[in-house]
Chain A
Amino acid sequence: MYFESSVNKTNYRVIVEEDLKNWRLKVQKILKDDTERQWDEHIIPKKDFHTAADGNISLLFNNKSYLVDVVDREDHIEVYTRGSYRNVVIANEDIILRNGLMGLGGLGQVKNLKAGMPGKIVKIFIQEGQEVKTGEPLLIMEAMKMENEIRATADVKIKTIHVSEGDSVETGGALISFG
């Protein structure tokens, strides 16, 4: 499972996989200049990330013992251990997709709305040449079995619609051009 995350003002790409016995995590720092950094790999035996009956997680990480609390908030996760805490912003593919689309669609001055993730167009609300007000829905895209409604967050004019309902799109595929 792929995540993008932000901790202590640093952004990361994280891939989480599991097998019967282990958690396998690959972690890569995202740098501003977008230079490729190496992926750090952590193999954590499942018994070393153990949730006790009281909900406290016992994590053995590099042989250090941490009692961890993970508290899910609406837009971030609070993680506590050893008297320290961090607000961790973590996005799964759906959220990355949605944020990507919203970000592009919402800026107004951006010429093209692109798909941030592979997915399927479920519904299109607008027509070419239409003027769309802030907050009006543009389309619904399904990814990871979740429907994401993309709305305009600025007033825009629709120039070209590159997709039809039912189409599958790949990452970066053009969806709508604004005029």
Chain B
Amino acid sequence: MIKKILIANRGEIAIRIFRSCREMGIDSVAVYSEVDRESQHVLLADEAYLIGPAPSSESYLRIDKIIDVAKKSGADAIHPGYGFLSESADFAKACEDAGITFIGATSKNITQMGDKLSARALMEKAGMPTVPGSPGAIKNLEEAKTICEKIGYPVMVKASAGGGGKGIRVVHSPEDLASGLRAAQSEGKNYFNDDKVFIEKFVQNPKHIEVQVFGDQHGNAVHLFERECSIQRRHQKIIEEAPSPSLPSEVRDKMCKMAQKATQSIGYQGAGTIEFIFDNVTKDFFFLEMNTRLQVEHPVTECITGIDLVKEQIKVASGEALSFTQEQIKVSGHAIELRLCAEDPTTFLPSAGKIVRCRIPQGPFVRFDGYIYAGYEVSIYYDPMLAKLIVWGANRKECLNRLRRALSEFALTGIKTNVILHKNILDHPKFIDGSYDTQFVDKELITTDKKSFFKYVPDEVFLVSAAIASYQEQKSKSFEQKNGSPKWKAKARLESQNQG
């Protein structure tokens, strides 16, 4: 029986895990870095231990220090959350060696799935489709033509050493193949000193769809249906929903069953996610990778299945069998999650600083997983994600309306946030009809002009507020001055010198 869990993480996910612990009568131990003393995960834990300076490499990533704290505090298990050490086979191994239960996949599972080539090979063996293409480097044009005819156009010719968008050509028809090959080869040669190229099917309108899976130590494995996470910026998800609005039910069945089978075939233990690329035109899907941990977006699955995934992780880690069978898992309604980040909504550059106000949405079927409060200083050291707003609705339409309502109640001021980006997305026809793909934010939103992006409140409101506030400010300064405070004059003088 697990009595005390150390959470080797910070921020919202640490708090999310405390909540399940507390409901199960388990004590929680927080660890924190020097800048995180005021972080809410320290304030809400049962115990808290300082583990080092702000940079993650000196605190949240220090396996030795975390194991030490676990021993000192008498924790019998460690939950790694997501990010940081959650997919570190070394960390899982260190826990196993120290006799501490690691609440996650086994170090073997983590190693198998951590390497993309070995994961791909394992999954192909389990019958999972992967993106079709050439088995290795292309030898000549004839071979390329044969492969392309087999997999069908359009294809991507990729320099095997390529990266950062260089050495990639999309070829739509056989006539363009020779020039595409030449271009990719020459870019590979020029930029990476390697002219090897391979061919992969080009997935048009790619969607990112993933299946939540769960395995236990007794050989059981289930899936908890899919989530769609195609709304991304900088290749990172910002909106996730379940079920996916664009998966035909027969494709959903096939995808989920395959994921379940693959999970079982590798003897996977704990919560995991199998990610797919879904071609919205052909309705084909391909294995992308497996994440051997709890995902940021796990709440949407919790909302539609009614299952507390963290509790289940803890139970499975302590040796219990899964508390549900595949047949018992039912989907009800629709859930969407928004990641609320401290960043400029148009450039996506992180924005640190002090939070002036934080008003959290409330009301029916609204869930807010966060760690922020007014006066909290958002640090530059960690991920800009501050909170997740998750809502449930009986169907997607109700869910979307409820989400707009909940977002309208949210206020976070003093730093820049991506709230207005979310508003724009939620109002976009392609989000509303579900046809969006992973290129959506770049193609549909960032290109729109800024004026329309900021259309929600007229400029006059801001101008009037700023003008009255400035008037009041200046009046109170003049009042101070009349009453003998010399500061105003001195300060102005100083500012003028600085400007010179």
Q: Using a CB–CB distance below 8 Å, which chain A residues touch chain B?
A: 1, 3, 5, 7-10, 12, 14, 16, 18, 23, 25, 27, 42, 44, 49, 54-57, 59, 61, 64, 66-72, 77-86, 88, 90, 92, 94, 98, 102, 135, 137, 145-151, 153
A145, B467: Cβ atoms under 8 Å?
no
Chain B contact patch, size range: 35 or more
The distance in angstroms between the C-alpha atoms of A108 and B155, with both chains bound, is: 60
Taking a contact as CB atoms closer than 8 A, the residue among B413, B456, B471, B499 that contacts A102 in the complex is B499
* A23–B467 CA distance with the chains assembled, in angstroms: 10
Closest B residue to A46 using CB positions: B468
Task: Specify the main secondary structure of chain A where it touches its partner.
Answer: strand
> Does A23 lie within 8 Å of B468, measured CB to CB?
yes
Contact A88 B462 (CB under 8 A): yes
Give B463-489 interface residues, CB cut-off 8 Å to A: 463-471, 473-474, 478, 481, 488-489
A-chain residues with CB within 8 Å of residue B467 when the two chains form the complex: 3, 5, 14, 16, 25, 90
Complex Cα distance, B467 from A56, in Å, reads 16
Top 3 closest pairs, chain A to chain B, by CB: A151-B500, A80-B413, A88-B466
CB–CB A14/B492 < 8 A: no
With A57-B465, A82-B457, A84-B456 as known contacts, state yes or no: A3 contacts B470, CB within 8 Å. Answer: yes
Bound form: Cα–Cα A23–B464 in Å: 10
Asked if B497 CB lies within 8 Å of chain A CBs, one says yes
- The DSSP consensus for interface residues of chain B is helix
**B493, CB-defined interface residue at 8 Å:** yes
Contact of A68 among B465, B473, B496 (CB under 8 A): B465
Query: Do the beta carbons of B456 and A61 come within 8 Å of each other?
Result: no
Instruction: Say yes or no: is B420 at the interface (Cβ < 8 Å to chain A).
Output: yes
Q: A145-B481, A148-B492 known; A82 and B464 CB under 8 Å?
A: no
A89 to chain B, nearest CB (A): 9
A82 pairs with B408, CB closer than 8 A: yes
User: Can you spell out 14 A-B residue pairs with CB atoms less than 8 angstroms apart?
Assistant: A9-B450, A55-B357, A57-B465, A59-B464, A61-B461, A66-B457, A69-B414, A78-B413, A78-B414, A79-B462, A80-B411, A81-B465, A82-B408, A147-B493
For the complex with contacts A3-B471, A83-B410, 7 further pairs of A-B residues with Cβ separation under 8 Å are: A8-B451, A67-B411, A69-B356, A70-B465, A79-B465, A83-B419, A88-B466
Give complex CA distance A110, B60 in Å: 58
